[in-house]
């Protein structure tokens, strides 16, 4: 029997997965809860937020298609590619319908308990707001009434039913709010929840030990696969920056970052975070060297290009095959780096291009 009889998954978790309801992390979590009867709690403000974010995800997908067509004209030759406004509207509806169907199918894995506002004490929530107590916070978070409503309904449900609730969220303010409620247990990722659900399995400790023994192999696979990511420089005001010739210098993996998210027949799946130090050739303009040329035109006087070095963190999922006695990791079956696009922040060395006297 799991330690929790109900779970709550925050919108930010679905955002991080880009509403891919067939993602390995969601499938692993569903598999781990299949025979437990765990309920899925869905506060009304979170349902509304999820539906709004699905529409936003749909809009971004259609925009990406339009951008791809602009940047790669040969895509016009592909059959079924949405070219006209009518085709793009049809694509928008199809994408939205697909995401909604995934969302509905995901919910069918659980007994969904919808939480309305009936148990909310507005006076209490305004007190949190006035004192800036979690889940309120500084900056934009000080007006996060939907988060406060959701938190209050989760707490009230847990207390009413005398049950523990697993709260899966990357929101640090929600973490701080849960710290004061014994019935609410925070998990920063789906992988961390799945890991905990699987701890009772007799092979859990063996899988963790085998993953730790294979760290060097994981590092080598990351060194090979990492340069195949897409790389984008944050400094890109004119749209002409690029990052190329990526070389991995070092990979660091800490054993405590391993989360076992799946146990199969002589196989296990592990989720972990790695730190990658790499070098790359970067080229971009000096964003601070712009001058107004009139009529809304801007020119950048200096450009930057050269080799830079940077560290980044990546999320990975690996599958290992074991021997029959779970004493040896026989093979690294697969390694997936979940970050498809790496943003580079380090500025390249400045190269003079124009003098101020030239303009």
264 has pLDDT over 80: no
Tell me the average pLDDT across 198-225.
90
Q: Please name which of 83, 96, 24, 98 lies closest in space to residue 55, comparing C-alpha atoms.
A: 96
pLDDT of residue 356: 52
Lowest mean pLDDT among 57-66, 116-125, 252-261: 57-66
Q: Which of 8-17, 195-204, 265-274 tops mean pLDDT?
A: 8-17
3-state secondary structure of 282: strand
3-state secondary structure of 327: coil
CA distances from 196 to 47, 201, 204 (A): 26, 10, 10
Other Cβ atoms closer than 10 A to 178: 23
Give the separation between CA 303 and CA 353, rounded to whole angstroms: 6
Whether the pTM exceeds 0.75: the reply is no
CATH numbers and ranges of domains, the chain: 6-196 (3.40.50.1010), 202-358 (no CATH)
- 1 pLDDT tier (thresholds 50, 70, 90): very low
Q: Please name which of 181, 166, 182, 173 lies closest in space to residue 148, comparing C-alpha atoms.
A: 173
pLDDT tens digits for 309-333? 999 999 999 989 899 889 999 999 9
Give the separation between CA 157 and CA 118, rounded to whole angstroms: 11
pLDDT of residue 124: 86
CA distances from 279 to 1, 81, 233, 265 (A): 48, 37, 13, 40
97 has pLDDT over 60: yes
pLDDT of residue 132: 83
């Amino acid at each position: 029997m799991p330690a929790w009889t109900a779970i709550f998954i925050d919108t930010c978790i679905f955002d991080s997965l880009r509403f891919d309801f067939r993602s390995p992390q969601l499938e692993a979590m569903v598999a781990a809860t299949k025979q437990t009867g765990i309920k899925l709690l869905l506060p009304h403000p979170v349902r509304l937020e999820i539906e709004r974010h699905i529409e936003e995800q749909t809009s971004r997908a259609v925009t990406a298609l339009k951008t791809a067509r602009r940047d790669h004209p040969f895509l016009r030759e592909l059959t079924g590619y949405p070219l006209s406004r009518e085709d793009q509207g049809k694509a928008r509806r199809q994408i939205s319908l697909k995401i909604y169907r995934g969302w509905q199918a995901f919910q069918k894995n659980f007994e969904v308990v919808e939480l309305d506002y009936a148990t909310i004490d507005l006076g209490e929530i305004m007190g949190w707001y006035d004192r800036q107590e979690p889940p309120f916070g500084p900056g934009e978070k000080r007006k996060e009434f939907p988060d406060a409503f959701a938190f209050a309904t989760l707490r009230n449900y847990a207390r009413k039913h005398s049950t523990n609730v697993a709260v899966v969220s990357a929101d640090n303010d929600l973490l701080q709010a849960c710290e004061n409620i014994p019935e609410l247990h925070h998990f920063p990722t789906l992988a961390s929840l799945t890991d905990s659900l699987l701890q009772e399995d007799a092979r859990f400790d063996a899988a963790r030990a085998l993953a730790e023994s294979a760290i060097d192999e994981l590092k080598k696979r990351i060194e090979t696969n990492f340069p195949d990511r897409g790389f984008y420089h944050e400094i890109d005001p004119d749209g002409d920056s690029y990052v190329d010739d990526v070389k991995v210098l070092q990979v660091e993996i800490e054993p405590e970052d391993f989360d076992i998210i799946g146990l199969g027949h002589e196989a296990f799946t592990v989720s972990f975070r790695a730190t990658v130090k790499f070098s790359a050739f970067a080229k971009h303009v000096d964003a601070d060297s712009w001058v107004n040329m009139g009529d809304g035109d801007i020119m950048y006087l200096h450009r930057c290009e050269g080799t830079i070095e940077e560290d980044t963190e990546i999320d990975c999922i690996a599958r290992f095959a074991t021997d029959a006695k779970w004493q040896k990791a026989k093979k690294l079956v697969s390694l997936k780096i979940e970050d498809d696009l790496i943003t580079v922040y380090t500025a390249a060395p400045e190269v003079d291009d124009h003098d101020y006297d030239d303009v």
